[in-house]
Structure 1
């Protein structure tokens, strides 16, 4: 059965994103050239520029896909929780699980800010894992949570999760960080 033009277009776009991800993980953004990406994807240079303005736009698409995958993993685990606290703890564990995928920490937390700038990376995170964290914190803190305080807590905890993921990636004990997250959450309630 022949694929539709839309299906072929999406397959080409996906092939480019997957090839670029492999090369960005293997070589880093700076050392990955667009001819390498098109060769890895098995498409033409014209196909690359039909789908993406430039290498940076392709990198952003890779990051958006990674961010969506992390958020989906968190939501899948957190939804089965019995309480808002448990949902946040399951979400934290799911975040660390998702960040274990080879290259993900490097791409999302180290290379992304350097390539796209902090503002773009924050926007990608806000649409994905941070949105899930904010909803979980809102449930945990209850209806009386101040909107500005909720946003600040979300941003600070998100940064803490990112630093923990980097530490875990470099060999730190994950259970120590999961315990620290629980202590932070319990401290929010006591405060």
Structure 2
């Protein structure tokens, strides 16, 4: 039996992830055949089982990868904003806009929710921690009214998540996004310190 190098193992894993992302996005999780997907990747089912355990494990890994990319995009918005409040608002709106991106819509907001029950607890905790830091910073600057930052983060994160699921769920995604964006603006204005 030939032992594979670490680099070869990582390459195999990356190939499986990239192929699964493409196939899950195009066909959906339920309609994806593992035999066809691994053949398209030029690999065996054994490689899939070795790296991910099963089809569900592969979906979890693909979802985690996309979640990390989404988080990096949102963080770049916050980091690049000249005004912390505007950056926070732009970040919230960007999250809703991502619900219309085919890969995110199909894999993260539809299939992962149906098959995995949604984002992993670690991913949710990371999102909440990040939002809590942003809100705490805005409170410290006197922009957002004083409240429990964790409770506020949970409410906003939950609202954004449910709105994204709602946007992704219908054929009229653009119209749903427009309505959700208006509602989000109303919600965000309610956070501000009153003059």
Q: Same fold (TM over 0.5)?
A: yes
Change over 3 Å in CA distance of 1:126–1:22 after alignment to 2: same
Change over 3 Å in CA distance of 1:65–1:77 after alignment to 2: same
Change over 3 Å in CA distance of 1:81–1:149 after alignment to 2: same
Residue of structure 2 equivalent to 1:60:
60
Residue of structure 2 equivalent to 1:139:
137
Change over 3 Å in CA distance of 1:104–1:42 after alignment to 2: same
Change over 3 Å in CA distance of 1:141–1:101 after alignment to 2: same
Change over 3 Å in CA distance of 1:163–1:30 after alignment to 2: closer
2:85 aligned with 1:51, yes or no?
A: no
Per-residue CA deviations over 1:107-161 (Å, capped at 9, x if unaligned) read: 111211210124xx25254155444333322323349532552343244333354
TM-score normalized with structure 1 length: 0.81
TM-score normalized with structure 2 length: 0.79
Change over 3 Å in CA distance of 1:99–1:124 after alignment to 2: farther
Contact 1:67 1:124 in 2 (8 A): no
Could you tell me how far apart the structure 1 residues matched to 2:151 and 2:125 are? 19
Using the TM superposition, give the Cα deviation of residue 176 of structure 1 relative to its aligned residue in structure 2, in angstroms. 4.7
Residue of structure 2 equivalent to 1:38:
38
Residue of structure 2 equivalent to 1:170:
173
Residue of structure 2 equivalent to 1:21:
21
Residue of structure 1 equivalent to 2:189:
186
Change over 3 Å in CA distance of 1:145–1:123 after alignment to 2: same
SS in 2 for 1:189: coil
Alignment: residue pair count: 186
Runs of 5+ consecutive residues of structure 2 not aligned to the other structure: none
The two structures, once aligned, show a CA RMSD in angstroms of: 2.8
